[in-house]
Amino acid sequence: MDEPVLVADGLTRIHGVGCDRCLETTGPLSDTNRCSACGAVVAMADVSFALHPGEILGVMGESGSGKSTLVKVLHGDLAPSAGSAWFTQGDTRHELFALNAAERRSLRDRAMGMVHQNPHLGLNFQVSCGGNVAERLLMAGERRFATIRQRAERLLARMQVPIERMDERPGAFSGGMQQRVQIAKALATDPPLLLLDEVTTGLDVSVQARILDLILELQRETGTAMIVVTHDLGVIRLLAGRTLVMRLGRVVESGLTDQILEDPAHPYTQQLVSAAL
């Protein structure tokens, strides 16, 4: 039995001071994520899962489901209010929220790639595309210029970004291209874990399809474990072997993706699936 890459246990994030009634007055049964006692927003509560090497886990939900909060907490952009997570890299198991800021940053730079829906969050628009990939390699400790340049070229080419344009800044590219550059950057250090937050939302469908196909191809080549956050059933169906369905901060259902889509058990999942166009 292989070790999971990432284990999350009871992850919770409350915006605001919170009180002891926050959890019981929020969630799908209360039809709100705002605590009726103190007004705090329970963005995510009690989320647990295990992700193994080579797996793609889907996290599906609509706005306010907590899916993006989950990814931000895992990436270290937000601190959890409760819960823990363990990340295994090689022989070392790190307790994510017990690491200090420098350790966390180092882990993130080397072992955890993240692709955001908004490319401005993942790319430095003041620097060329090649420079963006190089930045990440530099932060991970690579110092040899030739290696950096070569690797950046190879990654961008693999993402089908024209090499002759790699010295241009991201602003000169279409949305789809910017996402490709983000993915190349995120994969620069061969991280065991890649977080993808609505990466094709808002792109033209033909562009979406090509990028998703590329992500799947890459995953098969590299065996990178991935968490794919999306509201789109089609993305889940294409990429994820297992899926968590979230609503109002809670996981309402989890299972094999084909099972979630063909035999949804929770009322909300049934609604979501029947609403697909």
Partner 1 sequence: MLKEDIGHRTSDIGPKDRPRTSDIGPLLSIDGLRKTFTLHERGMTLSAVVGCSFDVHPGTLTALVGPSGAGKSSVLSCIFRTYRPSAGRIMLTTSDGPVDLASADDRAVLRLRTAHLAFVTQFLRCLPRQPALAVVAEPALLALGKDAAQERAASLLEHLGVPGHLWSLPPATFSGGEKQRVNLARGFCAGAPLLLLDEPTASLDPVSRERVVELISRTRDAGTAIVAVFHDADLVRRLADHTVYLEAAPC
Report the relative pairing of strands 6-15 and 41-51 from DSSP bridges.
antiparallel
**Count of positions on this chain that bind partner 1 (CB under 8 A):** 20
255 near partner 1, judged by CB under 8 A: yes
Q: How far is the CB of 213 from partner 1 (least distance, A)?
A: 6
CB 261 within 8 A of CB 274: no
Q: Pull the structure tokens for residue 207.
A: 């562009």
Nearer to partner 1, 164 or 262 (CB): 262
Residue 143 neighbours by CB distance under 10 Å: 8
Smaller CB separation from partner 1, 81 or 88: 88
Of the residues 37, 157, 256, 276, which one makes contact with partner 1 according to CB under 8 A: 256
Q: Among 126, 147, 150, 270, which residue sits at the site for partner 1 (rule: CB under 8 A)? A: 270
Distance CA 22, CA 121 (A): 31
Q: Could you say whether residue 13 binds partner 1 (CB under 8 A)?
A: no
Q: Give me the least distance between CB of 223 and partner 1, in Å please.
A: 12
Contact segment (CB under 8 A) with partner 1 among 78-86, 112-120, 139-147, 249-257 equals: 249-257
Instruction: Write down how long the chain is.
Output: 277
Residues linked to residue 58 through DSSP beta bridges, in sequence order: 228, 243
> Residue 273, interface with partner 1 (CB under 8 A)?
no
Give the DSSP letter of residue 189. T
Q: What does the DSSP 8-state code read for residue 3? A: P
The least distance separating partner 1 from the CB of residue 204, rounded to whole angstroms, comes to: 15
Both structure tokens of 132 = 């963006």
Phi, psi of 148 (to 5 degrees): -60, -50
Residue closer to partner 1 by CB (options 17, 256) is: 256
Restricting to residues 130-189, name those near partner 1 by CB under 8 A.
none
Print the binding letters for residues 25-54 with partner 1: x by CB under 8 A, - otherwise: ---------------------------x--
CA distances from 64 to 19, 43, 55, 69, 251 (A): 20, 7, 25, 9, 12
What residues contact 203, with CB distance under 8 A and at least 6 apart? 175, 176, 179, 211
Site mask, partner 1, residues 187-226, x = CB under 8 A?
Answer: ----------------------x---x--x----------
Among 64, 138, 259, 273, binds partner 1 (CB under 8 A): 259
Interface with partner 1, residue 271, by CB under 8 A: yes
Cα 85 to Cα 71: distance, rounded to the nearest angstrom: 12
Q: Are 53 and 225 in contact (CB under 8 A)?
A: yes
Least CB distance to partner 1 at residue 267 (A): 4
Residues that bind partner 1 (CB under 8 A): 52, 55, 209, 213, 216, 238, 241-242, 254-256, 258-259, 262-263, 265, 267, 270-271, 274
